[in-house]
A and B are shown apart, each in its own frame.
Chain A
Amino acid sequence: MASIQILEINKLKVKFIIEGVSEVFANSLRRAMISMVPTLAVDFVDIYMNSGLMYDEVLAHRIGLIPLKTDLEKYNLKEKCTCSGEGCPSCQVSLRLNVEGPKTVYSGDLISDDPDTIPAFDNIPIVKLKEGQQLMLEATARLGFGTEHSKYQAVCGCGYKIIPEITIEDSCNNCGKCVEECPRDVFSSNNGTIEVTDIYSCSLCYLCVKVCEENAIQIDENTNRFLFSFEVDGSMTPLKVIKVALNQLKERFAEFTEKMEKLSVE
């Protein structure tokens, strides 16, 4: 049975252990979180007035990178929307920016049509305006996937590692060389006996195995335990990302199963 245990969690970051799944599953989950979780981001900007120092293109790029709080129940993918890709309130949201210098323009100055879809952080500096400089623009955000552009990617630094099983056999003479050699301080010496105290930090470098003259250290990599960690860009909570990713995998496999069944009938 697969189980999940959360070690650390806050608004932007999560660290958890998945147990009882194969590495194939762990990697599918990682890839699904990176590329199958859609988020809202600005991808079209109408600039009416820009007398500031920054080029229109650079300005539009910076606005595009700002994460927006995304409610996936509220918005459709533009391609799959009932408006057939023309753009309507259920597949896009527009944000206006109307400011005059002297001022530092922040992401919080963007005024959204939808009060729930606002920048995830309101203090990201976009541009600095001087006396008399003006900025007037309308930005349009839509849902997209991380495969298209990294601004649509909900997670960053998403990865997992194997939690191995390290056994110290009775032939250990407690020389302490492994304690010294391990760069991650996995081992510690407790009253002269060597113990594994921080298994989560192990990077499978096998330096302890190489340094042990008695060959007393055994490392088992096939434990089916994985330590996941990732951060989100603020568009949704870490747990929401995991849920959406798992649902996406489920949907795709359901679709595949359906097609396979049709195949066997013919």
Chain B
Amino acid sequence: MVVAQGRGDRSPTGEAMFPVRCFTCGKVIGQYWEEYQQRIREEPPGKVLDDLEIERYCCRRMFLTHKEVFGELVD
């Protein structure tokens, strides 16, 4: 699938990359993303989030609902 908007070969938004901070409370969450992604292959996501001490549901949904599509748009 090719999405062409604006300057052609660029992704229209940055949302395809995991957000640096939680949209709601502003907690910095970007640093946990790669560890989370690695660990959910073998562990349940809820447990991983508990381990990472991500307590509030605003921050938890950032992880649970993210789909990494950055870069796939132009392949």
Contacts and interface: CB of A to CB of B under 8 A. Distances in A.
A231 B27 contact: yes
Contacts of B20: 62, 65-66, 124, 126
Interface string B13-33: 110011011100111101101
List 8 tightest A-B contacts by C-beta distance, closest first: A58-B14, A124-B30, A121-B31, A65-B20, A156-B26, A156-B27, A156-B25, A150-B26
Given A128-B17, A150-B26, A153-B26, A53 B10 contact: yes
* Residue among A53, A127, A130 with max Cβ neighbours from chain B (10 Å): A53
Contacts of B21: 65, 150-151, 233
Contacts of A13: 53
Interface of A: 13, 53-55, 58-59, 61-62, 65-67, 107, 120-121, 123-128, 130, 150-151, 153, 156-157, 231, 233-234
Given A55-B10, A62-B20, A153-B26, A125 B53 contact: no
Main secondary structure of the interface of A (DSSP, over half): mixed
Given A53-B11, A123-B34, A124-B30, 16 more contacts: A13-B53, A54-B11, A54-B14, A54-B70, A59-B14, A62-B14, A66-B28, A66-B30, A121-B30, A121-B31, A123-B31, A124-B31, A127-B70, A150-B21, A231-B27, A233-B21
A233 B10 contact: no
* Residue among A62, A120, A125, A127 with max Cβ neighbours from chain B (10 Å): A125
A157 B74 CA distance: 38
Contacts of A233: 21, 26-28
Given A54-B11, A65-B21, A157-B56, A125 B33 contact: yes
B71 interface: yes
Nearest to A150: B26
A67 B11 contact: no
* Residue among A13, A61, A67 with max Cβ neighbours from chain B (10 Å): A67
Contacts of A125: 17-18, 30, 33-34
Contact of A55 (B7, B33, B56, B71): B7
Contacts of B27: 156-157, 231, 233
Interface in B15-66: 17-18, 20-22, 25-28, 30-31, 33-34, 53, 56
Contacts of B26: 150, 153, 156, 233
A122 B64 CA distance: 23
A54 B17 contact: yes
A184 to B, nearest CB: 15
B13 to A, nearest CB: 7
A128 B14 contact: no
Contact of B71 (A126, A128, A153): A128
Nearest to A155: B26
Contacts of A55: 6-7, 10-11, 13-14
A67 B31 CA distance: 11
6 contacts: A13-B53, A55-B13, A121-B28, A125-B17, A125-B30, A126-B17
Contacts of A234: 28
B74 A53 contact: yes
